[in-house]
Structure 1
């Protein structure tokens, strides 16, 4: 695998960072989160460093690291930081897993959304979705948002307990590939996460 993949979510706290860690680890990729907003519990890059099993050099530094856990546009304002979109071009190194913040319509600035960045990059994108109530609506909305900007969708990766009808419905109505489902793990540690990823996903789907 010698390309970059974007990982976005249908919402915040859907398991996007855990999935990104598993994917980056499985591909032996580099990991990059352009904007980190919120540092009270550490950064997502730090979490990926622990969970992925990747060498330290594979975790790339953020372009912006903001202190407040909220939308990047507001977190930047609170920190008196001006986000420059030219600083948000993906590193040329490959393979690379890029993690967005929250969902596709999260504002980067007052006039730039993450979906706008994704459209500019035009990289294959994985949508991470919950399996809980409401996921059909949120997932189909995210698919529509990406398609409206001609962003290539690699497929949907579900996180949580299996809900067969919801997962199949999203894939069928959205016309997207159902990549697999990462189940809840009783122990979130690198070996368990890697085993779960390889059991429930086909690495070649990302290559």
Structure 2
């Protein structure tokens, strides 16, 4: 299988999709969001297209759920049964960036969490964490949950303003690589994201 990197987060709405878009565009990789919940406000696949990922590199979701909540409940409300076998990683020769939904322990079904799916895939994970208050606890709990399942962790990517002590202690106590920090961008578009990504991350780590 080609190089696959899974992008997950410590929570929802922390910048995971922006990071995944920046990474996919920088690597020339395909992007895949296996489960999308909430369609009214647009999809993450549509957003990464506006952030520099070509349409031809964006794979269709395995499940598109209308209700904006955890996938397990959104599926039940929408009358959909999520089959884990449909979440197998797509084949292909190009690199692949896979974005999870919400945090590490978000339920995909009532018996399986995203961390369990990551364990089945057995591919390196990038944990995206904000730099604000609470990130040490959330990051270390997420790292423990991944390690308990044997999920390989490539490192932690931070989002937001610099908070040196928090970023350093997560890497030190969690025994993970500190990949870099992506600042909040205004304006946020493909050009500004590309420039910021190349300035703040060593792409060779992801190759």
Secondary structure of 1:107 counterpart? coil
Once residues 26 and 19 of structure 1 are traced to their aligned partners in structure 2, the CA distance between those partners, rounded to angstroms, is 10
1:92 CA displacement: 1.2
Q: TM-score with structure 1 length normalisation?
A: 0.98
Name structure 2 gaps, 5 residues minimum.
Answer: none
Equivalent residue, structure 2, for 1:98: 98
Equivalent residue, structure 2, for 1:110: 110
Once residues 115 and 45 of structure 1 are traced to their aligned partners in structure 2, the CA distance between those partners, rounded to angstroms, is 21
> In the TM superposition, what whole-angstrom CA distance separates every residue of 1:47-101 from its partner, at most 9, and x where no partner exists?
01110x2321100000000011100000000100000111000101230000000
Secondary structure of 1:157 counterpart? strand
Name structure 1 gaps, 5 residues minimum.
Answer: none
Once residues 111 and 97 of structure 1 are traced to their aligned partners in structure 2, the CA distance between those partners, rounded to angstroms, is 25
Equivalent residue, structure 2, for 1:186: 186
Once residues 70 and 179 of structure 1 are traced to their aligned partners in structure 2, the CA distance between those partners, rounded to angstroms, is 30
> In the TM superposition, what whole-angstrom CA distance separates every residue of 1:25-53 from its partner, at most 9, and x where no partner exists?
000000000000001210000001110x2
Equivalent residue, structure 2, for 1:10: 10
Once residues 6 and 69 of structure 1 are traced to their aligned partners in structure 2, the CA distance between those partners, rounded to angstroms, is 22
1:202 CA displacement: 0.5
Equivalent residue, structure 2, for 1:34: 34
Equivalent residue, structure 1, for 2:70: 71
Once residues 40 and 188 of structure 1 are traced to their aligned partners in structure 2, the CA distance between those partners, rounded to angstroms, is 21
Once residues 9 and 144 of structure 2 are traced to their aligned partners in structure 1, the CA distance between those partners, rounded to angstroms, is 13
Once residues 160 and 128 of structure 2 are traced to their aligned partners in structure 1, the CA distance between those partners, rounded to angstroms, is 11
Equivalent residue, structure 2, for 1:156: 156
Once residues 185 and 112 of structure 1 are traced to their aligned partners in structure 2, the CA distance between those partners, rounded to angstroms, is 35
Q: TM-score with structure 2 length normalisation?
A: 0.98
Structure 1 stretches (4+) deviating beyond 2 angstroms?
none
Secondary structure of 2:187 counterpart? coil
- Let me know the Cα RMSD of the aligned residues: 0.6
Once residues 4 and 12 of structure 1 are traced to their aligned partners in structure 2, the CA distance between those partners, rounded to angstroms, is 22
Once residues 167 and 138 of structure 1 are traced to their aligned partners in structure 2, the CA distance between those partners, rounded to angstroms, is 12
Equivalent residue, structure 2, for 1:201: 201
Structure 2 residue 60 is matched with structure 1 residue 61: yes
